[in-house]
Chain A
Amino acid sequence: MLQQLTNLSDKELISRARKLRDLEAEGVLFERYSHLLVAISMPYLNNGPGTTPEEMYPVILQRLSNSIKTQTIPKTSEWIHYTVKALNNKSERNSPFFPSSESREVQQVENSVEKAGNNLLEQQQLVIKIRHFFSQLDADEKYFLQQFYTEQKSFAELAAAKECPVEKVRQKLREGKQKIASLMMTQTDGK
């Protein structure tokens, strides 16, 4: 059973956990992201009462387990990241996870690309649109996107070329991508 569940996507596991109250599916999903969860929560370990690994991780998992039944989860990674951060930064504890509009727009474009699959006509239409909106970006954003996706340069190479930190390269790439996605969704009405 576990072997079969590991082959399912995040969406399928979440739907099983919700509809069928399948705790095994829930466990498989948490196990899939457990190493990342451990990694991002490590800076908060042993910083005060109830922050030992034995205490903190069960609390995080319990919180995720409660949240999975009520939250809208378009992207699992975002949901886990938000929940862990919210738990550790106690000021944001009570605000529920809600995906940002940029994130949703990017996801919608990703879904349309995935939907196009091997259909060349749809792919061409999408390429035309992306190129059209790509031309509307800033020069910096155009440079980073072109070098990263077309020339397949790494973060480090781009950072070295522009003499900026990797974080800024990532930020520029992210902004450019989100702009294209939002333009596609607003100006073409998502079609």
Chain B
Amino acid sequence: MENNLENSNKILKTFSTIRCLNRDQLPRYLDGRLTDVEKHLVEQHLVDCDLCYDALHVLQQPQYRDKYQSLSVSIQQYIRNSIKQVSHIQKAERYQRKEQKKESLLIYFWIVAAIAIFAGGIYLVQQGNRFRSLSSKPLASSGSVPTIQASNREEVKQQSVSSLPVPRPDTAVGQAGIVTPSPVPVKESSVKPVVKKDTLKAAPVVSKPEVKTDDTTVKKPVVPVKPPEDKEEKKATPVVVQKDSPRVVKEKKADTPEAKIVPKDTHKDDDDKKPAPSAPTSTDEFLYKAAMVYHQQGDLNEAISRYKHLSTSNSKYGELARYQLAVCYRSKGQTGKARRMFKEVVNMGGSMKDKAQAALDNL
């Protein structure tokens, strides 16, 4: 059985793969310095390998044997050197490739980032333009300015009207006051700040002469009556003047008659000896006009905030402010809020009821 196994192993070794002779085996085989087993393995390999057999055949000749060692070492050294150089070159190439990849990735990143920023910028500009067009259209084209101006005029008229009911009983007194000039300067002094405020607010340029005439008599009493309001107005007036666009100037021109009207009323008020009720309305009026300026300039958010502030007022400016607030919401596209505000105006049943109703129907 064991013999069979040995024989079968030997038979299989007929076709076993054996490596070529190495650098050490070659001279040893030639010199006969191999063991029997090793020698037999070499010869098994030599049966098939022409390369090794030819090499042995050549090296058996003494003239080649002498040169063989030196040549073998030199070619080995040559290959190693070339590998070293190549490996260095390969490493450098790999490093370069990596760096190039990194650079290209960075370039792609920056290109994408630049495109994104550019697109974002374009989008923002477009949005800005759209917003401007939306905000300017209702004011400039759809006749909102005229409505506002008209509303201003109406306000003034209403102011004169609204001021009437309160002082109506006083008008008689006022008329009487006209008859009796002696208390007038005192009353005028106490009330005229209102006139001054209005003129300053609405039409500083046009109303100058009036102010000038009033200044001499009015300025001193203004301080004791309402100093904080004055301060506010004085602070606010330059803003209004600075922000005045041509439209505002036109509006001012349009408002000048109001200014002219107001003093008349105030005169009546003055005659009534009731400056207290006129002061809040003038403040509201100022706030309202300032809001109007913002509205005309297209700063809807600022205008809305001011209108909101005004809308709590119980005076007629409260109603007007609500109406304008509704207009602002409508121009901003917030129809729900606009509708609500118009309804409020309608419910209030004031002078703006019809307009609010019409606007509500149009919505």
Contact = CB atoms under 8 A, between A and B. Distances in A.
Interface of A: 1-2, 23-24, 27-28, 30-40, 42-43, 45, 53, 57-58, 61, 76-78, 80-81, 106, 109-110, 112-114, 116, 123-124, 126-127, 130-131, 134, 145, 148-150, 152, 154-155, 170, 173-174, 177, 180-181
Contact of B15 (A1, A110, A170): A110
B12 interface: yes
Nearest to B21: A36
With a 10 A CB-CB cut-off, give which of A42, A123, A127, A154 has the most chain B CB atoms: A42
Contact of B79 (A27, A42, A134, A152): A27
Nearest to B32: A156
Contacts of A77: 20, 49-52
Contacts of B82: 27, 61
A113 B40 CA distance: 19
Contacts of A127: 8, 11-12
Interface of B: 7-8, 10-17, 20-23, 26, 36, 39-40, 43-44, 46-56, 58-59, 64, 67-68, 71-72, 74-76, 78-80, 82-83, 86-87, 90
A8 to B, nearest CB: 13
Given A39-B26, A42-B68, A77-B49, A177 B14 contact: yes
Contacts of A174: 47-48
Given A42-B67, A42-B71, A77-B20, A57 B26 contact: no
B79 A80 contact: no
A40 B58 contact: yes
B78 A113 contact: no
B48 A106 contact: yes
A105 to B, nearest CB: 11
A38 B75 contact: yes
Q: What are the 6 tightest A-B residue pairs by CB atom distance, in nearest-first order?
A: A27-B83, A39-B55, A81-B51, A23-B86, A77-B51, A127-B8
Dominant secondary structure of chain B at its interface with chain A: helix
A42 B51 CA distance: 13
A130 B11 contact: yes
With a 10 A CB-CB cut-off, give which of A27, A34, A57, A130 has the most chain B CB atoms: A34
Nearest to A84: B51
B83 A154 contact: no
A45 B36 CA distance: 34
Contacts of B21: 36
B59 A78 contact: no
A114 B19 CA distance: 14
Given A110-B16, A148-B47, 13 more contacts: A30-B79, A34-B72, A38-B75, A39-B59, A43-B64, A57-B78, A77-B52, A81-B50, A81-B51, A126-B12, A148-B43, A148-B44, A177-B15
A163 to B, nearest CB: 19
Contacts of B50: 77-78, 81
Contacts of B46: 155, 170
7 contacts: A33-B51, A35-B72, A38-B71, A110-B16, A149-B13, A155-B43, A170-B46
A23 B78 CA distance: 14
Contact of B11 (A53, A57, A131): A131
Nearest to A30: B79
Contacts of A40: 51, 54-55, 58
B78 A39 contact: no
B47 A150 contact: no
A137 B64 CA distance: 39
Nearest to B89: A23
B60 to A, nearest CB: 10
Contacts of B14: 130, 145, 149, 177, 180
A127 B17 CA distance: 16
Nearest to B59: A39
B20 A33 contact: yes
B17 A154 contact: no
A159 B74 CA distance: 37
Given A23-B86, A39-B58, A31 B76 contact: yes
Contacts of A80: 51
Nearest to B4: A127
